[in-house]
Structure 1
Amino acid sequence: MRQASIDLSVKLDRIKNDIHELAQIGRCEDDRGIYRMAFTDADMQGKRWLENRIKQAGFEPRTDGAVNVSAELTGATDDPRILVGSHIDTVPCAGPLDGTLGVIVGLECLRCLRENGIVPRRTVELIAFSDEEGRFGGMFGSQSVCGQLNPDALATLSDLDGVLLADELRRHDVEPLGALDAARDPESIAGYLELHIEQGPVLDRGQKSVGIVDEITGLFTWSVTLKGEANHAGTTPMEMRHDAFMGLADFAHAIPRILDENGTARSRATIGKAQILPGAANTVPGIVEFSLDVRDTSAEILADLGNAFRKALSAIGRRRNLMFEFQQKSYLPPVAADAGIVSGLLQQAERLGLLHLQMHSGAAHDAQIMGSMVPVGMIFVPSKNGQSHSPAEWTSWTDIEAGANLMLHSIIDLANR
C-alpha cells in the first residue's frame, strides 16, 4: 500500500466549482438564501447532482433506504471501513457551506486518492446523510444508519407544517419503511470523520486554520409555560399583579447565575422564542410561553442544569404567584470524539504545519449520532464572523484548503491503521 507524502494535496479549484454549482440548487434570487430543506424538490435535485458528480469522479453512486447517497474507494482488505461525510440539506435561507462542505471535501479526497494511485488498507466510503437539519425532528439519515428508527416513527414523524415524513418520501417514490434497511452493522465501520464549518467565532477570532473537535455538546430543549392572571394595565396595582412576563424576566436574569453555579465554560442556555398572551398593550400578561435550549458536553452537568432551572422556575412561581409547567421537547446526549482519532488529527495538523485548536462543538452534527455506534472525529474550519445558517455564511478558500488537506491525510492515516 502506497503511503502519501506531505506534498499530496486536494485540488482547490474542483472544491470551489462544486460548492458554487451546488449552491445554485435551491437558491432564492430575492434574498440569496438557499432553500434545500430535506426531501423538498430542491433537496432531491441536490442528491441527483451529487450522484452525477460521483459518477464523473469514476465512482459508483449508491442510495440506501433513507436516501443517503454514498460512494466508496475500495481498500486492499475487508477490514472495517472508514466513513467520511456530512449532509447537503439546508435550513431555510441558508448559506452555501453548512454540511455541504463536508460532503464536497469528502468526494474530493476520494478523487485525490484514486488519481494518485493510493489504495488504503480499509475501504473509504463517502456518505451524504439525509435531513441532518431536522426538518422532521431528528437526524433522519444518520439515525437510520445507526438503527435508531422504528416503523412507528417512520409513520408519524412530521415537520412544523404537519407534513408527514412518510408522505414526503412517497412523493419521491421512496418507501418509508426502506429506511429500516439502511441500518449498518457497527462491526463493519472502523470510524467516521466529518469536516464542517465551525458555525461560531472561536477559530476566526483566534486566527486558527482548523479546529480539532474533542467533544460534541449534548442538549435538551424545553417548552415552558408561566401562568398568572391577565388584568387591566391601568387599574391593577403593581403589588397585586400576577404578571407572567415578569416571571420570564426574572428567569432570564437568573440564567447567568445558574450557569456559573451549576455549569462549566462549555455550558450554554438560550431563550430563543417567547409569546406573551393575551398580547395587548394595556393588559397585564396572563400567560407566557417560551423555549429553553440548554447545552453542555457532560451529561451530568446537563442533568444538574435541568434541576437548577426547575428550582428557579419553582421559586419564581412562588414569588410571583405564578404556575409553571414545562415539556422536554428533545434530548441529545453529549458525545466524546474518539481519543485515538483526535490524537491522529492533531498529529496530522502538526505535520502539515496548520495553525489549529483543540475545541468542542457547540452544535449537533451527524457525527453525534454516529458517535453512539462507532468512533468519530471532526474537523472544523473557521466561519467568518462566526456566521452560519444565513447567506452571509462563508469561510476563506485558504482555510477550506487547509481543512480539506487535513481531512485527506487523516483519511489515509486512519484507513491504513
Structure 2
Amino acid sequence: MLDCSTLKVNLKRIKSDILTLAEIGQNREDRGIYRMAFTDADMEGKRWLSGRIEDAGLSLSTDGAANVSGTLNGSTDKPRVMVGSHIDTVPCAGALDGTLGVVVGLECLRRMHEEKFVPERTLELIAFSDEEGRFGGMFGSQSVAGKINPERLATMSDLDGVLLSDEMRRHGYDPFAALDAARDPESIAHYLELHIEQGPVLDRLQKTIGIVDEITGLFTWSVWLRGEANHAGTTPMDMRNDAFMGLADFAHEVPRILEENGSDRSRATIGKAQILPGAANTVPGLVEFSLDVRDTSDVVLEELSIAFRKALSAIARRRNLMFEFEQKSYLAPVACSSDVVQQLQTQAKQLGLDYQTMPSGAAHDAQIMGSIVPIGMVFVPSKNGQSHSPAEWTAWSDIEAGANVMLQTLASLSQS
C-alpha cells in the first residue's frame, strides 16, 4: 500500500486549470465571468471539466441533473467519499467561487491515480449544477439529496421567466431525469468541500486555513409596511402614516434584537427596499423590503423570527401602519461531522498550517449534502474578503495549502 503522507498536489496544474476555466464565459470589458447555470458558457465549462476528468484517467459520468462526476474506483464496496463544489457563477463573477473546490477535488484524485494509490473506498469528484441560484440555487445537490420533485422541475424559472426545464431540454437533457439523480445516503460515507471563505475573517487573522464546524441556516422574508400616501407639504408630521418611518424604526431595532435574541453567529440584513409612490413631494404610503437572517442554530433562528415579527407588529401599531410578510426561503443550519472536523484539524497540524475553526456564514452545496451524509468543509482566505466580483482572489500559497489538507484528508478517509 502506497504511503500518501508525503503526497502533495501539483500547484502548477491547479493554476492552469483555474485560469483556463476562468476564460470560459469571461467578459473582456469588465473581466467578470458570466457562466450562469445552463447557459451556453456553463455547458462549455461542463465539457471542459469532462475532458479534464478523462485526461486524468478517471471514470466520467453525468447524472440527470447535469452534475458531472469523476471517479477513482476503490478496492471495496464500502460507502464512497465524495468531494466537490460547482462551476456555475453569478453574473460578473470571480475565478474561484465554486471552481476552486472542483479543480482541487480533481487534482486530489488525479494525484492519487498518478501515484497508483488504490483507495479502499471509491473517491468521487462531483461538480453540482446551479449552486449560485439562476433557478433558485442548489439544484444539483438537492437532486442528489432527493429534494427535487416534479412540480418544482416544471415551475423553476430565472428572473427573466426562462424555465429550467426549457433550458435543460435546449442542451439535450430530460429535466425529469433529475429525479433519478438521488443517491442512497447509505452509499456515501462523507462529502467534503473546499471553498474560498468569501469573507474577511481569515485574511484579517492571517490564517492559512479555515475548518468549518457549522454552516449557517437562514430565512429570507419579503416585508410590507402599508401606510397612507399624502402631500409632503400639506400633511402635518403628527398626522402622517409614513411607511418609510416604520422601516427606519425597524432598521434601528435590528441590532437590539440580535443582541437580545441572537448569538455571536447571528446576522440580519435589510438588503433591498422600495419606497412607493417614490416621489420627492409625497409621504411614502408603502415600503417593501427584504430581511435576510442567519444563524447556525435552528432554535436561535426561530427565536429571531418571533422577535422580528413582534418588533414589526409593534412599530406598525405605533405608526398606524399595516404589516405583512412572506417567507421566501428557509435553509436549515447544518453541523459538520465532528469526526471529519477532527481529521481536517489533524491534517492541517501535520502540514504545519495555522488554521481557524469557524462557521460558514454562506450557504454551500455541503449544506444540502449535510442533510443526508456527514460533511466537512475547508476554507482558504479571500483577499480583502472579496467575492462574487472580478476582484475575488486567494494567494496561490493558500490554495496549495488548502489543497494539500484536502488531499491528505481524502486519502485518510478513503482508507477508514
TM-score by length of 2: 0.99
- For residues 101-141 of structure 1, what are the alpha-carbon distances to aligned partners after superposition, in whole Å with 9 as ceiling and x for unaligned? 00000000011101112111101000000000111113100
Deviation at 1:59, TM superposition (A): 1.7
Look up the match of 1:74.
Answer: 73
Q: How many residues align?
A: 416
- Asked if structure 1 preserves the Cα contact closer than 8 Å seen for 2:59 and 2:72, the reply is no
Look up the match of 1:4.
Answer: 4
Deviation at 1:55, TM superposition (A): 1.3
Matched, 1:21 2:20: yes
Matched ranges for 1:318-357 at <5 A: 318-357=317-356
- For residues 195-217 of structure 1, what are the alpha-carbon distances to aligned partners after superposition, in whole Å with 9 as ceiling and x for unaligned? 00000000000000010000000
Deviation at 1:29, TM superposition (A): 1.1
Deviation at 1:58, TM superposition (A): 1.4
1: CA distance between counterparts of 2:251 and 2:237?
20
- Look up the SS of the partner of 2:292 in the other structure: strand
- Look up the SS of the partner of 2:59 in the other structure: coil
Deviation at 1:173, TM superposition (A): 1.2
- Look up the SS of the partner of 1:401 in the other structure: helix
Deviation at 1:349, TM superposition (A): 0.6
- For residues 205-261 of structure 1, what are the alpha-carbon distances to aligned partners after superposition, in whole Å with 9 as ceiling and x for unaligned? 000001000000000000000000001111111111111011001111100000000
Matched ranges for 1:9-408 at <5 A: 9-408=8-407
- For residues 278-328 of structure 1, what are the alpha-carbon distances to aligned partners after superposition, in whole Å with 9 as ceiling and x for unaligned? 000110100000000000000000000000000000010011111010000
- Look up the SS of the partner of 1:224 in the other structure: strand
Amino acid at match of 1:283: T
- Look up the SS of the partner of 1:147 in the other structure: coil
Amino acid at match of 1:253: H
Matched, 1:416 2:415: yes
1: CA distance between counterparts of 2:379 and 2:36?
23
Deviation at 1:33, TM superposition (A): 0.5
Amino acid at match of 1:363: A
Amino acid at match of 1:216: I
1: CA distance between counterparts of 2:31 and 2:313?
45
2: CA distance between counterparts of 1:325 and 1:310?
9
2: CA distance between counterparts of 1:180 and 1:73?
25
- Look up the SS of the partner of 1:380 in the other structure: strand
- 4+ residue runs over 4 A deviation: none
Deviation at 1:3, TM superposition (A): 2.6
Q: Which moved more, 1:387-396 or 1:109-118?
A: 109-118
Name structure 1 gaps, 5 residues minimum. Answer: none
- Look up the SS of the partner of 2:42 in the other structure: helix
1: CA distance between counterparts of 2:391 and 2:245?
35
2: CA distance between counterparts of 1:144 and 1:101?
22
Amino acid at match of 2:411: I
- For residues 5-50 of structure 1, what are the alpha-carbon distances to aligned partners after superposition, in whole Å with 9 as ceiling and x for unaligned? 2x31100000000000000001111111100000011000100000
TM-score by length of 1: 0.99
2: CA distance between counterparts of 1:240 and 1:44?
58
- Asked if structure 1 preserves the Cα contact closer than 8 Å seen for 2:86 and 2:102, the reply is yes
- Look up the SS of the partner of 1:76 in the other structure: coil
Deviation at 1:2, TM superposition (A): 2.3
- For residues 143-182 of structure 1, what are the alpha-carbon distances to aligned partners after superposition, in whole Å with 9 as ceiling and x for unaligned? 0001111111111111111111111111111101100111
1: CA distance between counterparts of 2:378 and 2:46?
23
Amino acid at match of 1:50: L
Name structure 2 gaps, 5 residues minimum. Answer: none
